[in-house]
Structure 1
Amino acid sequence: MTTKKILAAVAVLLILTVAVGVAAYQNWQELKKHSGNPAVSARQAVEAHDLDTFKKLVDLNKLIELAAAEILTEQINSTLAPTAYSMDELQSRYDKLKPDFIKSARAAAEEYISAGKVTFPKELTDAQKFFKKSGAASCEIKSITKPQKDGNARVVTVMFYNPYMKFSFELELELESDAENNWRITGAKGFESYYSGYRRSLRRKLDSLNAPIGRQMDDIFKVKSFSVQNAGGDEYGFSQTLNIAIKADVKSDKPLAKVLGNIILTGKDDRESFAPFTIDMIERKQGAQIFNLTKTLNPFVRADADAMKHGLKKKNIHVEVTEIVFEDGTSLKLLDSLPE
């Protein structure tokens, strides 16, 4: 599943959720009720598939730009990072993803508002599969705060719940009025909370499904312990390298070809960074053995930056085996997506 397709699907979900959520704003009397109030008109525009009216009530382009900035930044900071990215490389990655993100999100959002649906072909794309499987359409509004003044604007916090994936997230909506007191949604914060909430919920579901597979893998390749040594920074003082020696017990009825997995570092607020590894097991003996792995700490990945700034703690490092491949071509592998 490509990053840009996943993120575009998430952006569409959140933008449409904002469109529905603004209608609940009419429950508060802080603003005057009149035909131009988005609290009264936004839902009517969506129900009538009136895109032009909707755009008068909601700055759709600005919300998509905000979603792109927040979600792409969150995704990049939780990316698989086997090597350190320079600042230029990270910015290049962001700039490359953003145009496709915005184009895909705008097209899908406008189609949904105009027609009440997003067209799915017979062959679903990865983004469409994600949109259906993530419970996007099931999101519910749980609570809305009373509008708070912020200069000439008003800010409303909306709490949402995804009952399918079982996680909550919130958005702060910013409303501004014109000279005639016609209010319009012009901003939102919190888009990244959907992406991070979805990742945590997906991980919990996958952990449950993978438990029996993991036990089978432990019987074959069991990580007993590991030690960590910081080998210091590179010649430019940019990144740092961790040398990780794992002690594992190998017991297999069939010859092994390789063992794959991740070194996972958890930082503040459950932020994670990953370093994938592959161990060549051809002609390796059975029993207890030492395997040497490395992980690069990248100061532009949040979990790594936390470790570099506050010190590395062994309890924050986890060695995860994700796949065992046998010489005959068969394998045991943890699920990385939910079954159809």
Structure 2
Amino acid sequence: MEALSVLVIEDSPSFSRLLTRGLEREGYQVDVAPDIASAQLYLSENIYTIMLVDKGLPDGDGIEFIYVLRQKEVITPVIALAEPDFSEEQSPELDDSIQAFIPKPFAFDDLLSSMETLVRDFLAQQDKEKNKQQTVPKFTSSPTIPLTEPKSKPTLEVVNVTATSRDDLDLPSNLFRAISPEEGLAKLSVNAKAQKAAAATAPVQAEVPKPKTSVLPLPAHQEIIDVFGMLLDRPLTFTVGGPIAPSKANPLLVASFASVDDKEVYALCFIDISLANSAAGALAMLPGEEVKNNITQGEVPEELYVYLKEVFRVLGTLFNKPDVPQVKLHHLYRATGLLPHEDAVIIEEQIHRTDLTLSIDGYPDGKLSLLLV
């Protein structure tokens, strides 16, 4: 099956990079058009499975552009991305041209869910149309081939060597052929003596304990910096720091990451109030002074939590490598001491951890700790 392709029509470089990274991790092939002119060029050369379009583009209205494409019989499903204050009533043509509408900011999982639904329905409809155009071949009967029993059956003489007495030889289920119990026990006795003799002469090897490895891969320091830099579109630096833990004097924001299949928690991330405000504030493009005031008050304003969740969701993508459980953000909460049981177990059983101090250009420094089991 060919990879699904998506055209992202979005003029924000940082937002486009965020979408591209996330979608490519999900297996999509992504092209990004920063304006309508670029989108027209891409569409003249490629056919896409789905399109994501921003309403406000430098050279026009993205939704009106899709309306024009519909007049040209472009049937690719489209999801419109717009600012929170946008109303569908502002664009009456939305009902006919756009299959889904998602206001910014949004959870990446919600976007994926909408995309998967639209793509599945679109491909099913395409298959249905193809089947209508195909003729159904007529089947002719073939001559019946008589089935006959084989002249002889192979002789199997494997004995159940796990039996320890005659009573255990439940014939014929414990033997592949129906031999007598006496014959079976004789075979068993010979086999047992041979195994005992081999065990007595074999050298005793001390077991070497295997090093414990965490279920999820521990992201490299540079990977963490890269994902923050990509999301925030700002230069970052880091230094290796010491571990941090929640207390009344040092409240932390705690994010747990759990398997999408069985909801088991495999990783925790701690960030202090300073980094929480700086990361969320940078994503929301707040002035540095306003972020400093929030840090002084020792809280993360409620309106910044939506941005903070996005920071953790993107950070969680670092764990999703091949051949390991796929995880996503499970819980996000403020902690000043004891953690819930499922998260406290992570601290007790942690196998790997990394502790960093991050510096985001234009914002106060803050600390981060990642713990894996």
Greater share of strand: 1
Bigger relative contact order (CA 8 A; separation at least 6): 1
Q: TM-score range by the shorter chain?
A: under 0.3
**Normalised by the size of structure 1, how large is the TM-score?**
0.25
